[in-house]
Structures are given as C-alpha cells and as structure tokens.
Amino acid sequence: MLRSGFIVALSMLAIACTEINDAVREAKNQTPPPPKDNYIILLDLSDRILEDNQQQVAKDLTVIKNIYGFFKSNLNKKDPAHLYYTLNDKLKVLIAPQKSTPRKLYESSDLLRIDLSAEQPEKRSRLVQESEKKFNTILPDVYRQALVSKRTSDYAGADIWKYFNEDLTDDLDKDAQNTLFIITDGYLDFEKTEDRPNLNNRFTSCAQIINNLKTHADWSTRFDSEDYGLMSVTKKFTRLRVVLLQMNPSQEWPEEYPLLTKIWSKWFKEMGIDTFSFIKNDNIGEVTESLGKFIDIKPGGNVAPVAWTAIELPDSNAIAQKNSNSLDKKNGPAEVILSAQPIKKKDELVRAASTNSNDSIAARNQIVKRPIKHKEQVSFGPAY
C-alpha cells in the first residue's frame, strides 16, 4: 500500500515537472510583444484659436479626437482581444511653452496622458477606457481657459522652438516609435520682432524669414544659397517622425505655404528628422485622411466633428475701464452657438510684430478670471 502511494506521488511529481518544463519552453518561444508606439500631441494655444469666432477650437478638438482614435485603433490592431496585456504604448497631450498661458493649464494637461507600461497588465484595458472620460472633460476645459481675451496682443506666441531645444528629449522613448503631432498654424512666432534673436540669416521666427524673402521672385534660390532658416537645435532626433497639423498660411502672397514648408523641412532635416508631413487647416475629412496615410493606420470608424459653444471673450481695455468706473460686473459672458461654416483662411500678412511691450504686459495684467461655465462633453470612445 505504501509502495503504491509512493509510486503515485512520483507519477504526479513527474507530470508536474513536465508541465513546468513545457511552460518554460513556451515562454522562451513566446512571440515578443508588438513594437511600442509613443504619441505626443503638442498644442499651440496662441491667438490662432481666436480666429473665425473660435471655430478653430472645434477643429483642434476634432483633430485630437482623431489622433486618439488612431492610437486606439493601433492598440486594437496589435491586440484584437482589446486586453492590451503585452502592450506598452503611450500617448500624451502637451501645451507648448507660452508666456500668456495660465500655469494651471499645464497642470491640467498633465492629466491628458496614457502610459500602458506604467500599469499592471490586467488593468491596461480599463486604463484606456478611463482615459477617454478624462479627455472628454479636460480637453474642452483646457481650451476654454486658454481663451483669455479677444485681443491678439494679449497672447504670447507658442514657443515650439524652445520645446524642441529643451523639452522634447525627455518626452521621447528610446524603445518606441515616437510620433510628434504639432497642432499649429505653422508660423513659429513667439516674441515681438525686435526681441527675436538671429544669427546671419538664421532666425527663431518664420515671419522674419518670410518678410525677408517674399519681395524676391527668386526667393527659393536665395533661401538655399544664403542659408536662410530657423536657428539650429544642437540635438538630434533620429527616432522621431513629425506631422504639423492645421497649418494656415496667409493668402496674400501665393508662395507663402511653399516657403513655410521649406523652412520647417530644413529645420527638421538638420535635427536628423527624416520622416515628416504637413497638413493644412482643411476640412476635417481631408485632415483625417492625410493623417491616416502618414501614420499608416485606418480609423476604427467615422469621427463626427466636435461641437463647440463659443464664449464671449473679455476685452482687456474694456475691463480696465469697467473696473476703474466700478461698474456692475454681475453679468457673465454670453454664449453663441457656432454655425458649421468652414474655416476661412487668414487674409492678413504674416504677423511680424506685436503692440508695444508695456501695453501688452499691462493688458495681460488687467485680464479678469472668467466665470466657470459648464463643461462640454466630447466623445472620444464610441466611434472607435
């Protein structure tokens, strides 16, 4: 009896060892996890979002919604079960450095990120679902708080050059395919003309280059032979691809857009970036199609344009006068529902200069906090 029990025990042990060995062999032969993707969305919240009665805000939100959709479609392509156990992809939304942006907006944008590698495998699917809810609420509020005045002079430009020079390296993942989506009008103007540094024909502003070359019929030849361009960033970003979205060239000079893309292309190549694309501020269907072609992902479904309820922006001069006269300030900003008109192109020349710096600083100091309004809900989830 004892001998029979011993034999049974040995048999069970042998079976257990076999199962363990099989599991080890399977683990060794297991297919490695899919390549990791790291999406970075950089927002230009300068005076570009004032144009056309804030329709640009609605377009920005729709573009971000589409990028999020492509991100999720990519996850589902890698893991059709939608569990994401072996995926380590990342996505985050950042605000480009900008003097006029309220500090709290940078804190809000810190919540707009997904990092699957930082979560336990069994919780990664839930993380993606919860992130959709955060995007629905936080993104519209970020744009609402960024609208501080109706006057262009109350806004500093977005310092995208500084982001590349100081911050981009920390946002890249050496083990991932890094993709930077820059939502901007394409002008890279962030200071008054006289405050912008330059070295020979190298500048930190696209407007300076355009203003120097647009009066010459041979502007393209001059650009190359006289080494025009943006001031170089000493760092290299060889594992990065970039797409500029919502580029909105002035229509006064027909060569504006070709020169803008030439400026950016040269700058990217000097930083070792070989894969990049430019997408105009076109209708959202064209933007989505161009974006999908660039990142080589098919959208998971049709994405409806985001609706935006415009807010009446304060005028800093009017506010100063109102405060000085101690007028009744109990009435809040009115709301105007935007129509579905397509966005018009800019008719003015490149913005080469701001108002006097003292006036601008005074104007910013006089801006009062707007009453908090209810948050629009923007759906990022169901369409995908």
Q: Under a CB-based contact definition with an 8 Å cutoff, are residues 152 and 359 in contact?
A: no
Tens digit of each residue's pLDDT (9 = 90 or more) over 219-247: 999 999 999 999 989 899 989 999 999 99
pLDDT > 80? residue 190? no
**Can you give the pLDDT at residue 310?**
85
Tens digit of each residue's pLDDT (9 = 90 or more) over 110-154: 789 999 999 999 999 999 999 988 888 899 999 988 888 888 888
- Contacts by 208-217, CB closer than 8 A, 24 or more apart: 208/352, 209/259, 209/263, 210/253, 210/256, 210/259, 210/260, 210/350, 211/350, 211/352, 213/259, 214/253, 214/255, 214/256, 214/259
Assign 1 a pLDDT band (cuts: 50, 70, 90): low
The mean-pLDDT minimum among 61-75, 87-101, 168-182, 301-315 falls in 301-315
pLDDT > 70? residue 87? yes
**Can you give the pLDDT at residue 108?**
76
Of all residues in the chain, the percent with pLDDT exceeding 70 is: 70
Where is pLDDT greater, at 363 or 291?
Answer: 291
**Can you give the pLDDT at residue 377?**
39
Query: Rounded to whole angstroms, how far apart are CA atoms 335 and 371?
Result: 12
Assign 306 a pLDDT band (cuts: 50, 70, 90): confident
**Can you give the pLDDT at residue 137?**
87
Tens digit of each residue's pLDDT (9 = 90 or more) over 247-288: 999 999 999 999 999 999 999 999 999 999 999 998 888 999
Q: Under a CB-based contact definition with an 8 Å cutoff, are residues 139 and 57 in contact?
A: no
Where is pLDDT greater, at 353 or 126?
Answer: 126
- Eight-state DSSP code of residue 252: S
Where is pLDDT greater, at 37 or 328?
Answer: 37
pLDDT > 70? residue 348? no
The mean pLDDT of the chain is 77
The mean-pLDDT minimum among 30-39, 225-234, 236-245, 369-378 falls in 369-378
pLDDT > 50? residue 289? yes
**Can you give the pLDDT at residue 344?**
38
**pTM of the shown model:** 0.75
**Can you give the pLDDT at residue 318?**
55
Instruction: Choose among 359, 296, 3: nearest CA to 152.
Output: 359
pLDDT > 60? residue 19? no
Tens digit of each residue's pLDDT (9 = 90 or more) over 320-334: 555 455 444 444 433
Assign 347 a pLDDT band (cuts: 50, 70, 90): very low
Segment 89-96 mean pLDDT: 94
pLDDT > 90? residue 183? yes
**Can you give the pLDDT at residue 30?**
56
**Can you give the pLDDT at residue 145?**
87
